[in-house]
Chains A and B, each alone.
Chain A
Amino acid sequence: MPDIRVTVDGVRYDDQVEARRLLVHHLRRLGKVGTPVGCDTSNCGACTVLMDGASVKSCTVLAVQADGAEIDTVEGMAADGRWHPLQTAFHRRHALQCGYCTPGMLMAAADLLRDNPAPSEDEVRGGLEGNLCRCTGYANIVAAVLDAAAEMRTPVGGGTA
């Protein structure tokens, strides 16, 4: 079985894996169960993580393809006990109901904002194109991402933090 080394949310893991193991299953076996298996058909985006900084659907990546990669999951989003502005905005804007799509939505949104810190509403919708939500109708998710983008462009507390 191939040996792989994957860094997940800043922690290095060395493992032997079956070549056929999907990255999403590998993450969950490492205990990183914040990333759910969604549709298992590459459609829904619930399993979205960042691989070397770019969003990927972790059900459509083999664990062996992630050898040497840095993976960021939703579990690493909050830092020092503080939520990420996207998490705060999702909470404030009621950008979820059942929550199943939320980890993927947050990671896809993080990818979008890294690339485009001041997206238009259309650009947010385009950036979340591979992520399905069956509860919200998307309006609150889009509003939350726009809120978070604005907040991330402005230093917290008007620059006094």
Chain B
Amino acid sequence: MIPAPFTYLRPDTLGAAVAALAADEEAKALAGGQSLIPLLRFRLAAPTTVVDLSGAEGLRGVREEGGAVRIGALTTHHEVARDPLVAEHCALLAMAARTVADPAVRHRGTLGGSLAHADPAADLPAAALALDAEMEVEGPDGARTVPAAEFFSDYLTTALEPGEVLAAVRVPKRTGWSFHYEKFSRTAQAWAIVGVAAAVRHRDGRVAEARIALANMGTVPVRAHEAEQACRDASGPEELRGAGALAGRAGSPPGDLHGGADYRRHLAGVLAGRALAEVVRS
């Protein structure tokens, strides 16, 4: 289908983009467009103004900033997947980015776009939550920072207020941690039925600390706190799988044509166990 008509703006600064978004209640920000353009085409969204962020300077690229890696919101999945700083300090993000959709979508889709769109089945929100990332937000009233745990508020809804733009994502460097992203989907390029993002600090094959976040186990990405506690000091595939199984108790998973809530709970437990075993083995 053809989208409904809209006014298209491509401001060359972030400030001008914020002003344009604030000036029209029905305006939408466009990053890579891999979620927004399908919605426009199906006319599930019909904004009166589309503000293309691609012209605004400083929204793309990865750099070190003290104890964190700062990733511009318009950095594509393809770039995140291959970035050396991401690989060194927060590889979980790259692992998740590599599983998003397909190569053509990864060439256009952006980290910031995925996080701001906040689809509960998306891979990157869960990875951002597991990594305790912070969102740098620019708005009409200035800049503010929102931790990932407070950013995702509901189905396709974030803490971004009207007129605010997600400018960058700051991910704390996790030296000595290992990561794994485990995703289950029924077909190639499909969304996760359940995804598990695991960050683990381990010594001598034993878990010292774990952060586990789940995709598609509720309206927002959720932490698997019980599994995180249970896997402390665990070692060996059996113990790790047992601890991981508790991930099935987290969240309130949806039931849909891909599987019921019970199935998702089972799947989350199995996948978390696999993810933990994989991390500790690596």
Contacts and interface: CB of A to CB of B under 8 A. Distances in A.
Given A19-B5, A20-B5, A42 B38 contact: yes
Given A42-B38, A54-B78, A55-B103, A64 B8 contact: yes
| Prevailing SS type, chain A contact patch | mixed
Contacts of B54: 65
A56 interface: yes
A112 interface: yes
Contact of B1 (A21, A40, A62): A40
A45 interface: yes
Interface in B15-59: 30, 33-34, 37-38, 40-42, 50, 52, 54
A25 B6 CA distance: 17
B172 interface: no
A42 B188 contact: no
A60 B5 CA distance: 16
Nearest to A44: B189
Given A40-B1, A40-B41, A62-B37, A57 B6 contact: no
B3 A20 contact: yes
Nearest to B7: A19
A112 B1 CA distance: 29
Contacts of A112: 103
A103 to B, nearest CB: 13
Interface string B197-218: 0000000000000000000000
A125 B102 CA distance: 11
A130 B105 contact: yes
A109 to B, nearest CB: 11
Contact of A61 (B10, B33, B189): B33
A18 B78 CA distance: 29
Q: Which of B7, B101, B104 has the most CB of A within 10 A?
A: B104
Interface residues of B, number: 30
A20 B4 contact: yes
A124 to B, nearest CB: 12
Given A19-B6, A20-B6, A22-B2, A130 B33 contact: no
A40 to B, nearest CB: 7
A56 B108 contact: yes
B144 interface: no
A48 B104 contact: yes
Interface in A99-122: 108, 111-112
Given A42-B105, A129-B188, 11 more contacts: A19-B7, A20-B6, A22-B41, A25-B2, A41-B38, A41-B42, A55-B107, A56-B104, A60-B108, A108-B103, A111-B103
Interface of B: 1-8, 10, 30, 33-34, 37-38, 40-42, 50, 52, 54, 78, 101-105, 107-108, 188-189
